[in-house]
Structure 1
Amino acid sequence: MNTISIIFWIFIFLYIGIASLLAKYIKNSNDFYVMSNRGTTLLITGTLLASFLSSSTFMGIAGIVYENGPPIFLLVFTSWIGVVLAALYTGRQLRASGCKTMPDFLEYRFGSSVRIIGTIIMLVGLIGYGLIQLMGAGVVLTSITGLSYELMIILFIGVLLIFGALGGMWAVIVTDTVMCITFIIATFYIAPAGIIESGGLTAITETLYRENPLYFSSGGAVLQAPIGWSVGQFALWALFMAAAPWLATRVLPAKNDFVVMKSAIWSILLATMMVTILYLGVFAVRVLNPAIDPPDGVLIWMAQTLVNPVVGGIGIAGIMAAILSTTSTIFIFAGFALSRDLYERMSKRELSDKEKIGAARISQAIIAALMLVIALMQPVSIYWIGAWAGALFAVSWLPVLVAGFHWKKANKYGIISSMIGGTISYILLYQMVERWGTFTLPYGIDPVIPAVIISCALLYVVSITGKTEQSYIENYEKMKAVSLNEETLNQFEGKRSALVKDYKSTRNLAIFSSIIAFIFFGYFIIEVALKV
């Protein structure tokens, strides 16, 4: 076993050990679902960042950037906007409503039938997005161990069950934060090594530009996608992340709103800086090795070739950490969907905390078995599965959440029409445009855009032509009567100095991060503009 493999396995067993130790904090179902709202700024930042950076970031999109050039995703990889919306908009609205899951909110506003439909669609999207993490894990593990893809997938599933089933949300959030250390190293050390080894920014902006000017187009050298495609990807990732359950509900365990806001600032600052450096480094590697196959493994090649084996091992552990963190989150929320949002609600009796936790653990095992079977079939590429699964949340969940938060007249018939109609319209449009070639959309726009429009139109038309039940109107008015920050203000009642201190620290962090972002991105913009 080489040094990289040893370092990698050390970190994997470290994560398992931490998750196992944290199981002692699970005293009741509230601990299991939202860690009893004890999440600090460090922990919520870590889990937001870890959920944002996944196998799509380090493998699927990295491979597309390697083949096409950095602008293709430096321009349209806008999921960080969705993360901001998920934390500060969707998540805070759910917190104020006292919800532990997103389907909780659907039932409160629109009834149990909407909850069931929403949960089923959520499960399909979660399983789809979870698949890309499993496939990415199989690629990484196979490349460093030499063992078969199938065996690695099975081992990875076992690790995931240890995470979610034993420690619940405690294990996921704490290990997410620990994992951040490894993929920060992967980004801020290994990616710059690729830039330096290839000749710096000059190699990217001069050498590769002469080779193919399309490397610096928004459509990419290989894809050569029209501008509508870029706009569609912009919309897809921003809207998808805003409604992604594993992000929106990430803020539910936070102590208060100040923790949510500080965590959002830190995670977005770090994430956007990391993505920029990562994709510039990935693309610079084309100078060193233009024949990496499959391109999804470009960062693995960098970790194995460009840096010290110890650092390379940490870097590969970082890639795996990003995959593991996102997958463990998806597993736990898919388990919650089966247990809390379906089984508990359909049960004819009140379940004890012990029974609720047991049901959640069994549900995670069921999800694991299902995803294992599909992952072993190795369907299409990592990025495209992620985009397809993400689109389901953009077209079926986001319009419904916005209407639920802000429109009193939205009723269950409009919501059901929107969720089902939006999902079906996207699937049909995607198949006809991308797979069957039946027709093309104007300017090459992504099918997600017309599907979102259809979803919103159905919601509005059906809602205004139907009757909204009085009980759900009353629930809406109760929800609107509660201030988003009421919970936080109650925590600081009689502690004005502490409230002012937290307010000032949040404001100062926002100013500091804005200055750092201006300097960081300004430098790269100027450097690239002067050299191209």
Structure 2
Amino acid sequence: MDLEALPGAVAVVVVAVATLAIGTWGLRFSRTTSDFFVASRTVNPRLNASAIGGEYLSAASFLGIAGLVLTFGADMLWYPVGWTAGYLVLLVLVAAPLRRSGAYTLPDFAEARLGSRGVRHLCSVVVVAIGWLYLVPQFEGAGITLAAAIDAPRWVGPLVVGAVVLVNVSSGGMRSITFVQAFQYWLKLTALLVPVAVLLVIWAGDGAPRPVTPQDWSMPLLGDGAQGLYSTYSLILATFLGTMGLPHVVVRFYTNPDGRAARRTTLVVLALLGIFYVLPPLFAMLGRAYGAADADTLVLELPRLMTDGVLGDVLTGLVTAGAFAAFLSTSSGLAIAVSGVLTQDVTVRRLPDVTAFRVAAVIAVTVPLAASLALPDFGVARAVGLAFAVAASTFCPLLVLGIWWRGLTAAGAIAGLLVGGAGSVGAVAWTLADDASSGWFDVLLGQPAAWSVPVAVTAMVVVSRLTARTVPAHARRFMVRLHTPEALELDR
């Protein structure tokens, strides 16, 4: 290993060791099945918000946004805006009622609300599909990072991240991972904030060279006409509504003590994400000013592009540490969510609860790990965006209608999940298989949320109306539970 790769190697080792150490420390609190699934519903809002920020700020946030803005300009700012604003929708419509449902997972909620094992099984399939679609780009991003930082082969990053995640998730479950992810949020924030502050000072000292950009780089919605306008609005819809359907985000709200704490958690998350997302566009601006060319590794390479010597090495090590933490935290959250579903619907039938969870964790990690090794160049930011589109087209309608409309039936839910899931997953498959994008057909499939979400909602409503006699008998009582504050229940 040459000296130039040393800071990155040290950063990766330090983050991996710190992650395992914190996870091991948290292991002493993980004793029961509830600890493994939802940390016994005792996580306070500030800790939970930090943990949500840690798992939500993925490879697409840490590396992808800066690269997209560098390449495509201000249009790409809709990604961080949508990813943050999605929590506002979650706060208003879903957070507190979802916590009051008493469920462990999204399939749990669906079965409790609709009284249908069929809906539960279909939800389980969708959770696993979204989780694996989201995990593959995390592993690929790890390969890109280690290749850029220490010149390692592309397969090393996925294997290292997969091994660390598997050890932490299988050993301590949700209780242990909560502490790890909270630490990793603050590490990622520091890993961007300190370097960008130093680099801005250097930029100002260099006489502030202006970014060399095309005329329309900083002017959203120009240059692509109607297709560009459609893609932008479809992207906004996917990111706004997809957040509430991401399994690793939703499962976090089950760990709050009550509905009020779930709302407070969401408010803190909005603040934490807002602070973080100010930083990646600054890297893009500096990259333009200094002629950076590689969008995928912009954040990792910019410090050495702007300064050399010890300072450049230290800043490079810091951003590498943050990037590695991004892969670990998001992958851990996704692995927990997928493991919980696999445990309840597959492995627990044959094994004790905790053992079943650990077996499920192995499956949850190894399948997308193998896919990332077999499918290099998957496209980190694009794959994550498509995962949001699938989540928005499936679980968003199910949660909103299930929480706010008593008339939803099991048949309606299945119809909406099948229509929205088939449409969005089909669009994802087409987009990933066909890189040549031309014409409206490719645009509609490249950003499916604008049509797949309304189609899913329509299918749920229409089929529920046609099967109105099958509305569960307990629906009214269950919805009263969702919307009654816990303090009122205690007073009774």
The match for 2:39 is 35
Partner residue in 2 for 1:363: 360
Aligned residues: 479
TM-score using structure 2 length: 0.89
In structure 2, the residue matched to 1:526 is: none
Q: Is the Cα–Cα contact under 8 Å of residues 24 and 172 in structure 2 kept in the other structure?
A: yes
**1:9 pairs with 2:6:** no
Is 2:251 the counterpart of 1:249? yes
1:125 correspondence with 2:130: yes
Pair 1:411-2:409 in alignment: yes
1:232–1:300 Cα change, 3 Å: same
C-alpha displacement of 1:146: 2.3
Corresponding position: 1:316 with 2:314: no
Match of 1:98 in 2: 102
SS in 1 for 2:43: coil
Q: How far has the Cα of 1:406 moved from its partner?
A: 1.8
Whether the 8 Å contact between 2:139 and 2:157 is mirrored in structure 1 is: no
Identify the residue that residue 392 of structure 2 maps to in structure 1: 394
**Which residue of the partner structure matches residue 160 of structure 2?**
155
AA partner of residue 153 (structure 1)? P
Is contact 2:216-2:223 (8 Å) kept? yes
| Greater displacement, 232-241 / 15-24 | 15-24
For 2:353 and 2:103, locate their aligned partners in 1 and report how far apart those are by CA, in whole Å: 16
When residues 430 and 381 of structure 1 are mapped into structure 2, their CA distance, relative to the original with a 3 A threshold, is closer
Secondary structure of residue in 1 paired with 2:292 = coil
Structure 1 segment 95-494 matched on structure 2, within 5 A: 95-110=99-114, 111-199=116-204, 207-208=210-211, 211-219=213-221, 226-291=228-293, 293=294, 295-305=295-305, 306=307, 307-344=311-348, 347=349, 355-377=352-374, 378-429=376-427, 435=434, 440=440, 446-469=447-470, 472-474=472-474, 476-482=475-481, 484=483, 486-487=485-486
Tell me if the contact between 1:6 and 1:313 (Cα under 8 Å) persists in the aligned partners. yes
Provide structure 1 residue ranges, at least 5 long, that are not aligned to the other structure: 495-532
Structure 2 counterpart SS, 1:238: helix
CA distance in 2, matches of 1:225, 1:72: 15
CA contact (8 A) 1:336 1:360 kept: yes
Output the aligned Cα RMSD: 3.0
User: What is the Cα deviation at residue 199 of structure 1?
Assistant: 4.0
Provide Cα deviations, 1:436-492, integer angstroms capped at 9, x if missing partner.
Answer: 76851699793211111111111111111124436x231x2122222646335667x
Distance, in Å, in 2 between the alignment partners of 1:220 and 1:271 is: 28
1:90 to partner: Cα distance: 2.4
- Per the alignment, do residues 70 and 274 of structure 1 end up closer, same or farther by CA in structure 2, a change over 3 Å counting? farther
> What whole-Å deviation, never above 9, does each CA across 1:59-87 have from its counterpart, x for those lacking one?
22221111122453157731112123335
Letter of the structure 2 residue corresponding to residue 398 of structure 1: C
Looking at structure 1, the residues matched to 377 and 252 of structure 2 have their Cα atoms a distance apart, in angstroms, of: 29
The 2-side partners of 1:197 and 1:361 are apart by 49
- Deviations, residues 205-249 of structure 1 (Å, cap 9, x unaligned): xx33x7422111224889996222211111111111122121122
Asked if 1 retains the 8 angstrom alpha-carbon contact of 2:30 and 2:176, the reply is no
**Does the residue aligned with 1:26 lie in a helix, a strand or coil?**
coil
Moved more, 231-240 or 193-202: 193-202
Q: CA deviation at 1:428?
A: 4.2
State which drifts further: 68-77 or 409-418.
68-77
Q: Which amino acid aligns with 1:425?
A: G
Equivalent pair of 1:67/1:222 in contact (CA under 8 Å): no
TM-score normalised to structure 1 length: 0.82
Cα gap change, 1:430 to 1:340, in 2 (>3 Å)? closer
CA distance in structure 1 between the partners assigned to 2:10 and 2:285 by the alignment: 28
Q: Deviations over 1:352-404 (max 9, x none)?
A: xxx11111110110122211210002142111111222211111111111121
CA displacement 1:183-212 (0-9 Å, x = unmatched): 1112222223343433499968xx33x742
Q: Distance in 2 between matches of 1:219 and 1:200?
A: 34
**Which residue number corresponds to residue 22 of structure 1?**
26
Residue type of the partner of 2:359? I
Q: 8 Å contact 2:406–2:479 — kept in the other structure?
A: no
Moved more, 110-119 or 17-26: 17-26
C-alpha contact 1:52 1:83 (8 A) present in aligned 2: no
Indicate how the Cα distance of structure 1 residues 277 and 432 shifts in structure 2: closer, same or farther if over 3 A, else same.
Answer: closer
- 1:67 equivalent in structure 2: 71
Contact 1:132 1:386 in 2 (8 A): yes
**C-alpha distance in 2 between matches for 1:312 and 1:259:** 38
CA change 1:17–1:224 in 2 (3 A) is: farther
Query: Cα distance 1:71–1:391, how it changes in 2: closer, same or farther (>3 A)?
Result: closer
Q: 1:29 to 1:64 in 2, by over 3 A?
A: same
Moved more, 274-283 or 406-415: 274-283
Residues 244, 395 of structure 2: 8 Å contact kept: no
- Compared CA separation, residues 320 and 437, structure 1 to 2 (3 A): closer
Contact 1:40 1:255 (C-alpha < 8 Å) held by counterparts = yes
Aligned to 2:82: 78
Q: Write the distance in 1 (CA, Å) between the matches of 2:105 and 2:299.
A: 35
* TM superposition shift of 1:255: 2.8
Q: Distance in 2 between matches of 1:483 and 1:399?
A: 17
Partner SS, residue 130 of structure 1: helix
Contact 1:77 1:233 in 2 (8 A): no
Give the secondary structure class of the aligned counterpart of 1:215: coil
